[in-house]
Amino acid sequence: MGEAAVYPTGRNKCCTIFRFSFPAVLLTLVLLAVATRALHAQTDCLACHSDATLQDAAGHSVGVDGAKFSSSIHGSLQCNDCHADIKEYPHPDHVAPVVCSKCHADQQAGVAGSVHAKASEHPCTGCHGDAHSIFPKDDPRSAVYPLNVPKTCGACHGNDGLAKRHGLNNVYPVYMDSIHGFALSKEGLLVAANCQSCHGSHNILSHNNPLSTTYKTNVPRTCGTCHAKINDEYQTGVHGHAVAAGKLGAPVCSDCHTAHAILQPTEAAFRMQSTPICGNCHKDKFSTYRDTFHSQLGSLGGYVETARCWDCHGAHGILPASDPNSPVNKANLIKTCGQCHAGANASFVQYQPHANARDRKLNPALYFIRLFMNLLLASVLIFFMIHTILWVIRARYNQIKAKAAEGDKNA
């Protein structure tokens, strides 16, 4: 016994052994007295398992915090409700794994069909945490309490190694910096989208699976769970119609807002990165936009109020210009341009935000003005370039000659 080393004197040793061993000895005596009696109460098991340092043959901790367990969601259960193969004491060294599906069959079925079916972690405790301290999901102590979900999922999905092995992005830090992550971690907003708000919990499917909440055509409905009005608008717009018609090239929420790194759209950071997102598909419009003052100033950052795509076209319920409800319909232009340009009139709104000075058919006046300016620029510069180079050479030549002549005179 360790005590011997600590208390070397005989008298103390005797007392100490007695003091420390007494409960154990008593317990052993009691247990021996009842021999192989059946186990029923938690206290029966906790007699041994309350020792936090208790380990099984393989070195795994088998200690249980009785107080915490009794306050957990399973606190009213008996130990062998879950550890069903333990009927009596002493029990075998090896006990069967707990089968949660005995009660939680639906959840078990969900996980079995999900991306996590083959996870090396225990299908339940991997997310719900220590089996003896599982709390309801609205309890802040729960590993799946909304504010704790990102950390719980992030334990694996914030891990570069695991993410890389499965060809996934390391989404945890990206999410935490997003507007959802910020609302959740900084504001403690329980309704802010956490991982399972979009991905589901037990039956998480790959976004390639048409049944997944994150499958392209399902994304608007998934986001619409919270952003209902935006979803309604989206469904009325050209992108919503296209996706509904099975045109998967059209964008859904995540194509413009990204999936995890979602930013506050009115903030500078999103305004700065947004136009190229539309430009991914609308290449010609993006190219002509970049020729304009809106883009030229817009690219320089800082203060970012120059018009971006959706400032004129709308964002979610984008309509073709021919639609009378479109902000870029001829009838609405004065109002749309007038949002920024106070005093915009009928002539002002004839300005073409996507004019192409390189296209003679589309914008002939602009094309010829640009051509004239370019010819002027080229002819002036080429003429004077030649003129100046010849002049410099000639003047230098004369200088050297004059110096040589002067040198001759002096000699």
Partner 1 sequence: MPEIVAAADKPPIDGGARGRFFQRFTRQQRQMHAVLFSSFLGLAATGLPMRFSESYWAQKFAAGVGGFGAILFFHKFCAIVLTIAFLIHVKEVFQRGLLHREKGIFWGPTSMVANWKDAKDLFGHMRWFLGLGPKPKFDRYAYWEKFDYWAVFWGMIVIGFSGYAMWFAPFFARFLPGWALNAVLVIHSEEGLLAILFIFSIHFVNTHLRPDSFPMDMVVFTGVESEEEFKHKRPLEYARLQAAGKLESRLGEAPATWLVNFSRVVGFTAILIGLTLLVLTLSAYIRE
Neighbours of 210 (CB within 10 A): 10
Out of 388, 401, 405, 406, which residue is the one contacting partner 1 (CB under 8 A)?
A: 388
Judged by CB under 8 A, the chain residues 162 through 191 that form the site for partner 1 are none
User: Would you count residue 97 as binding partner 1 (CB under 8 A)?
Assistant: no
**Can you tell me the distance from the alpha carbon of 214 to that of 207, in angstroms, rounded to the nearest whole number?**
5
**Can you tell me the distance from the alpha carbon of 281 to that of 287, in angstroms, rounded to the nearest whole number?**
11
Q: Tell me the window of 31-39, 99-107, 170-178, 345-353 that interacts with partner 1 (CB under 8 A).
A: 345-353
User: Would you count residue 404 as binding partner 1 (CB under 8 A)?
Assistant: no
Nearer to partner 1, 109 or 393 (CB): 393
Q: 142, exposed or middle or buried, with CB in 10 Å at 0-12, 13-18, 19+?
A: buried
User: Would you count residue 349 as binding partner 1 (CB under 8 A)?
Assistant: yes
Nearer to partner 1, 121 or 284 (CB): 284
How many residues in the shown chain lie near partner 1 by CB under 8 A? 50
* Minimum distance from residue 330 beta carbon to partner 1 (Å): 12
User: Would you count residue 322 as binding partner 1 (CB under 8 A)?
Assistant: no
Helix, strand and coil percent figures for the chain, each rounded to 5: 55, 0, 45
Q: Which two tokens stand for residue 296?
A: 């030229």
- Residues whose CB is less than 8 angstroms from the CB of residue 239 and which lie 6 or more positions away in sequence, other chains included: 250, 251, 252, 318
Start-to-end CA distance of the chain, whole Å, equals: 114
User: Would you count residue 302 as binding partner 1 (CB under 8 A)?
Assistant: yes
Q: Tell me the window of 42-50, 101-109, 144-152, 336-344 that interacts with partner 1 (CB under 8 A).
A: 336-344
**Can you tell me the distance from the alpha carbon of 180 to that of 259, in angstroms, rounded to the nearest whole number?**
11
User: Would you count residue 394 as binding partner 1 (CB under 8 A)?
Assistant: yes
* Minimum distance from residue 398 beta carbon to partner 1 (Å): 8
Q: Which two tokens stand for residue 357?
A: 């000075």
User: Would you count residue 396 as binding partner 1 (CB under 8 A)?
Assistant: yes
User: Would you count residue 366 as binding partner 1 (CB under 8 A)?
Assistant: yes
User: Would you count residue 382 as binding partner 1 (CB under 8 A)?
Assistant: no
Maximum C-alpha span of the chain: 135
Out of 342, 408, 410, 411, which residue is the one contacting partner 1 (CB under 8 A)?
A: 342
* Minimum distance from residue 178 beta carbon to partner 1 (Å): 23
Q: 101, exposed or middle or buried, with CB in 10 Å at 0-12, 13-18, 19+?
A: middle
User: Would you count residue 362 as binding partner 1 (CB under 8 A)?
Assistant: no
Judged by CB under 8 A, the chain residues 281 through 300 that form the site for partner 1 are 290, 292-293, 295-300
Residue 371 backbone phi and psi in degrees, to 5 = -60, -45
Out of 392, 401, 403, 405, which residue is the one contacting partner 1 (CB under 8 A)?
A: 392
**Can you tell me the distance from the alpha carbon of 285 to that of 296, in angstroms, rounded to the nearest whole number?**
15
3-state secondary structure of 368: helix
User: Would you count residue 211 as binding partner 1 (CB under 8 A)?
Assistant: no
User: Would you count residue 248 as binding partner 1 (CB under 8 A)?
Assistant: no
Out of 72, 218, 306, 326, which residue is the one contacting partner 1 (CB under 8 A)?
A: 306
Q: Is 159 in contact with 151 (CB distance < 8 Å)?
A: no
Residue 88 backbone phi and psi in degrees, to 5 = -150, 170
Out of 385, 403, 405, 406, which residue is the one contacting partner 1 (CB under 8 A)?
A: 385
Nearer to partner 1, 20 or 397 (CB): 397
Q: Is 80 in contact with 74 (CB distance < 8 Å)?
A: no
- Residues paired with 38 in a beta bridge: 88
Q: Which residues bind partner 1 (CB under 8 A)?
A: 290, 292-293, 295-304, 306, 341-345, 347-352, 355, 357, 363, 365-366, 369-370, 373-374, 376-377, 380-381, 384-385, 387-388, 390-396, 399
